[in-house]
Amino acid sequence: MDEALKKQLQITACKVRMGIIEGVYNAKSGHPGGSLSIADTLTYLYFAKMNIYPDKPDLPDRDRFVLSKGHTAPALYSTLAQRGYFDVEEMKSLRHVGALLQGHPCIHIPGVDMSSGSLGQGISAAAGMALSGKISSQPYKVYVVLGDGEIEEGQVWEAAMFAAHYQLDNLVAIVDNNGLQIDGKISDVCSPYPITDKFKAFGWHVIEMDAHDFDSIEKAFNEAETVANQPVAIIQKSVKGKGVSFMEDQVSWHGTAPNAEQYAAAMEELQNTLKGLEG
Amino acid sequence: MSDVVKIATRESYGNALAELGDKYENLYVLDADLAAATKTGIFKKKFPDRFFDCGIAEANMMGVAAGLAATGKIPFASSFAMFAAGRAFEIVRNSIGYPHLNVKIGATHAGISVGEDGATHQCNEDIALMRTIPGMTIINPADDVEARAAVAAAVEYVGPVYMRFGRLAVPVFNDKDTYKFELGKGIQLRQGSDITIVATGLMVNEALIAADTLKEQGVSARVINIHTIKPIDREIIAKAAAKTKLIVTVEEHSIIGGLGSAVTEVVCEECPCKVVRIGVNDEFGCSGPAVELLKKFGLSSDNIIKTVKELLGK
């Protein structure tokens, strides 16, 4: 990847992470761990990949994004805010009564293409959008992010079968493999491994990616574009809580908001990261 | 009566889709391996490129329908009521109802008239389930004429619609040349002052037979057809309650949460009077020929007549 672009994406991803912490802290609830693990991927998609128009969020030919692991809405909202869909100040009223930003993605929020959050459902809607594009010969792509715990839902595999059967090569599913779910390690709770083999067996083209390396991210999404007649699954190896050291790889940060002290520490760390990048 | 034409409303559904397909180029049909039974096969034959089989995976089908609707198509997702409303309930709620997407659900094989397949496939709970989803419109047509008109109205309406159809061939009593379907409006089919019979679906015809027999016996029974269970026509029900002060509801559905409950809610709020519910009581169905089952579960004109006479002390 071009170094200047990479630097810009790293800076933006850091701001996205700050928005996540801001939102979850002010909401006094939410899911920081899995939001932080997808921050780089969402930043890449919204700032370097997707064909989108923040001033015209409903344009029919735009690329679609569905956050199937909807509990990590803070990452999507923070990315959308950075991209200009709405004011970043909205993050402070996340999950508040009467606020724009609901606890899980809601289709009525500018930039949100599908309501989601009940796990396993977003991928089906994404498959429907991809099918729709195919039958109308529209050029758009559909990206959907799933959790690695989420793929324990049976509906995911119904959708996987459907997408392969209808050769939806305009559909890219990203599985956020941070290895943790609420009850513990995914390998301990009810293991969905081997994830790569499962998607291959379902007829998908599978790509493995480092979720915190923009070179790897760019390479994976570029490869996805070359695939014909098959949907693409990108299995991204990620770190839950990435970017805030005390949250990294800790299952306890799946669905816990930081207290004032933790909030200050997290923001200070991210500020320092930002300073280092902007140097 | 021998020349009465009988058609199952699932046939009406398939035929209506095939007809409407010409007019609406963005109408698509999804099914979950039941196209021969739900009669969406009629549409598939005419428009093979606009029909998508999702296999035996109703949850995914509802999500795919949501995705199609979110990108401007008008999808009709079809399966048996048991799976469309039952198995896929939470997907219908969260992926269709909450975003208020323009998905039409064609649910066939509703109620105990499924017959021999028995309790596992006899869905007597679908109206109750669908009524609780905010913004969901529910239509339960009474015959072929009404069912075709309902499908046409559903295409024109923007928003989620649940349509309920039956497996059993039932008499066509509406006149297709004069019939008018208005979403959310009940139809008064008989005048009456002693009692009101509010019916829906295939029980409307039974209610008419009952009212005509009762008339010969000196009982003046008003008959109202509620084809749109949600939003329900409050006015026609309140007016009937005020006039007859006694209501019997009749439905091929559980007495819990369906038409009987909906009518009772309106009556209690608008014009309290006694409401007696005829429907499937708090029990599961069983195997048997559909017509015999309808009799066994009291879903017949005979039971309506008996109930009315008892209520009126005649």
Break chain B into its structural domains and give their ranges: 6-171, 187-312
Assess B52–A contact: CB distance below 8 Å, yes or no: yes
Task: Give the count of Cβ contacts less than 8 A between chain A and B.
Answer: 109
Cβ atoms of A161 and B55 within 8 Å: the answer is yes
pLDDT digits (tens, 9 = 90+) for B186-232: 999 999 999 999 999 999 999 999 999 999 999 999 999 999 999 99
The stretches in chain A having pLDDT less than 50 are none
Distance CA B215, CA B206 (A): 14
Q: What is the number of structural domains in chain A?
A: 1
Query: What are the φ/ψ torsions at residue B227 (nearest 5 degrees)?
Result: -85, -30
Q: Residue A37 belongs to what domain range? A: 3-278
Q: In angstroms, how far apart are the furthest CA atoms of chain A?
A: 53
For the cut 90, the answer to whether the pLDDT of residue B1 exceeds it is: no
Cβ atoms of A77 and A16 within 8 Å: the answer is no
Distance CA B115, CA A151 (A): 38
- pTM over 0.90, yes/no: yes
Fold match between domain B6-171 and domain B187-312: yes
Q: Which architecture, in CATH terms, is B187-312?
A: 3-Layer(aba) Sandwich (3.40)
pLDDT for residue A279: 83
In 3D space, the residue among A178, A129, A125, A181 whose CA is nearest the CA of residue A152 turns out to be A181
Instruction: With H, G, I as helix, E, B as strand and everything else as coil, classify residue A229.
Output: coil
Domain of residue A72, CATH code: 3.40.50.970
pLDDT digits (tens, 9 = 90+) for B230-281: 999 999 999 999 999 999 999 999 999 999 999 999 999 999 999 999 999 9
pLDDT digits (tens, 9 = 90+) for A40-95: 999 999 999 999 999 999 999 999 999 999 999 999 999 999 999 999 999 999 99
What is the rounded average pLDDT of the residues B58-87? 98
For the cut 80, the answer to whether the pLDDT of residue B124 exceeds it is: yes
User: In chain B, what percentage of residues exceed pLDDT 70?
Assistant: 99
Fold of the domain built from segment(s) B6-171: Rossmann fold (3.40.50)
Which residue in chain B has the smallest CA separation from A165?
A: B54
- Find all residues with CB under 8 Å of A115, minimum gap 6, and list them: A70, A104, A105, A106, A107, B94, B95, B98, B99
Assess B63–A contact: CB distance below 8 Å, yes or no: yes
Which region, left, alpha or beta, applies to residue B220 given φ > 0 means left and ψ of -120 to 50 means alpha? beta
CA distance B42 to chain A (A): 20
pLDDT for residue B2: 54
Residue of A59, A131, A171 to mutate, interface with B, max B Cβ within 10 Å: A131
In 3D space, the residue among A185, A176, A174 whose CA is nearest the CA of residue A250 turns out to be A185
For the cut 80, the answer to whether the pLDDT of residue B3 exceeds it is: no
Structure tokens given for B308? 């009315």
Which residue in chain B has the smallest CA separation from A140?
A: B71
